[in-house]
Structure 1
């Protein structure tokens, strides 16, 4: 019987076990079949929830993740389970966005990645943190600098 590259994935196609707190260990990757091509992969999670670390009140957001893969790509069901693991996790909005980005960099080592949190208003103010990263010493590092300077304009 031939082994497929997807056979090592643990979450895809199996009963879903939802974690009750921050769980980066649920993230899984698969091999990018087109590492020589630059192309965008975008995920939108419109039902992201975390907790305010001070009040314990829930915060709701849409999390947008865009990346240009290198050798590895994140498997979507594992990403969903990872994002849902923030449900009972207490961190500020800015922290959540940076943690997500750093965990995905560690997991995939992408050429480029950016993460945006579009949090619903609390007390009449909404917060939209944005973080990005480009592979050091490459055109993607320059791209990250450029996109950061142009962000929000």
Structure 2
């Protein structure tokens, strides 16, 4: 991978942390195996955001699983993006859907799913799940099948 060739700004540079939701930090690089279908999974076990009502912190493990298309998300930029939720107030379901939609917009994956395993608050855990498959393709059918047969943890 060539940072300059792929126009990557974060990789190999001093890290600047954003203090609120910052989708602009996300970067992509070319998928060098776009003729193959394969899975990429990211696990972020230390995700934090804020309750939009109380301002109390919420903690979760965020899992992102996708089949790349032409572009792939660069991992350091993804870390910075997920970190930017730290002082951002949003409900659990909104965080998961926002992450998925931002990644779809960024890299147009063939398929993607995002799950948030939020720790209990008030004795209840919330595990929101969102997915997307490119419309009119076998990946749209995959998204529907995985949504209808989702086995929550």
TM superposition score category, shorter chain reference: over 0.9
Contact persistence 1:28–1:78 (CA under 8 A) = yes
1:80 maps to what in 2? 79
What is the CA–CA distance in structure 1 between the aligned matches of 2:66 and 2:21, rounded to whole Å?
A: 22
Give distance in 2, aligned partners of 1:151 and 1:5. Answer: 38
Residue 6 (structure 1) shift:
2.4
Task: Check whether the contact 1:5–1:31 (CA below 8 A) recurs between aligned residues.
Answer: no
CA contact (8 A) 1:5 1:30 kept: no
5+ residue gaps, structure 1, are: none
Structure 1 outlier segments of 4+, above 6 Å = none
TM-score scaled by structure 1?
Answer: 0.96
**Which residue of the partner structure matches residue 95 of structure 2?**
96
- TM-score by length of structure 2 reads 0.96
In structure 1, the partner of 2:16 is 17
Query: In structure 1, what is the equivalent of residue 53 of structure 2?
Result: 54
Residue equivalent to 1:63: 62
Q: Which of 3, 7, 30 does residue 6 from structure 1 map onto?
A: 3
Gaps of 5+ in 2: none
